[in-house]
Amino acid sequence: SQQGEEDPQALSIQEGENATMNCSYKTSINNLQWYRQNSGRGLVHLILIRSNEREKHSGRLRVTLDTSKKSSSLLITASRAADTASYFCATRWSDYKLSFGAGTTVTVRA
Amino acid sequence: DGGITQSPKYLFRKEGQNVTLSCEQNLNHDAMYWYRQDPGQGLRLIYYSQIVNDFQKGDIAEGYSVSREKKESFPLTVTSAQKNPTAFYLCASGPFGPGNTIYFGEGSWLTVV
């Protein structure tokens, strides 16, 4: 399977702290994408990082990609209660399928 | 509003019945996708379509069927052959090509009663 695998499965942090989650995958990719899902809702796209990029930022989000280790990380800085959600990495290679991992559930405590 | 519309949001089906989930997009995207999500799990690809009148099986296509007669529409039929259809179904669309983002609808909950 080409699926990304997120780690940890669950994360609980205090508001204001940083949250870091990791994604590992198995084969060469075209790009890697991170999505957020609030309970019972659709997925919202956060960041796309291409295989020739090493780091991208978007607001309080920072994504890194290490293709030699086949891994990516998502950092959420200064977390807020509204960041409580599940976060998924998705990998895409030569065809058009986007494969998802099982996600990391983040709980931000007030 | 631009976006992806899935309907219905909640659907109950009796065993042995077929049911069709609707997905419509007005984003002018070429590619459309159907994913299934079980509680606490990731997404698994059912079918995808890159262009009108063409579609390919994903990882778990058995018991499902699709059509792509119009660019903006990609309905999914859950047939009676699907042994465990209770799940959250997500439709997505995106521009043609593997280097692009895909965008999701709000999902449809299907429960077999």
- At B58-107, the pLDDT tens digits run 999 999 999 999 999 999 999 988 889 999 999 999 988 778 889 999 99
Q: What is the pLDDT of residue B2?
A: 66
CA B82-B87-B88 angle, 5° bins: 130
Percent of chain A predicted with pLDDT > 70: 94
Residue B50 touches partner A, C-beta closer than 8 Å = yes
B19-25: strand order across its sheet: B4-7, B19-25, B76-78, B64-66
Q: What is the pLDDT of residue B19?
A: 95
Is the CB of A98 less than 8 angstroms away from the CB of B45? yes
- On the question of pLDDT at A2 being above 60, the answer is no
Minimal CA–CA distance to A63: which of A53, A52, A71, A72?
Answer: A72
> Is residue B74 a contact partner of residue B23, using CB atoms and an 8 Å limit?
yes
pLDDT in tens, B16-52: 899 999 999 999 999 999 999 998 888 999 999 999 9
Percent of chain B predicted with pLDDT > 90: 77
Span A4-17, average pLDDT: 93
- Which positions ≥6 away from B26 have C-beta within 8 Å? B2, B3, B72
**Which residues of chain A are within 8 Å of residue B107 when distances are taken between CB atoms?**
40-42
Is the CB of A40 less than 8 angstroms away from the CB of B42? no
**Which residues of chain B are within 8 Å of residue A33 when distances are taken between CB atoms?**
101
pLDDT in tens, A40-61: 999 999 999 999 999 999 999 9
Span A88-93, average pLDDT: 86
**Which residues of chain B are within 8 Å of residue A96 when distances are taken between CB atoms?**
31, 48, 50, 97-98
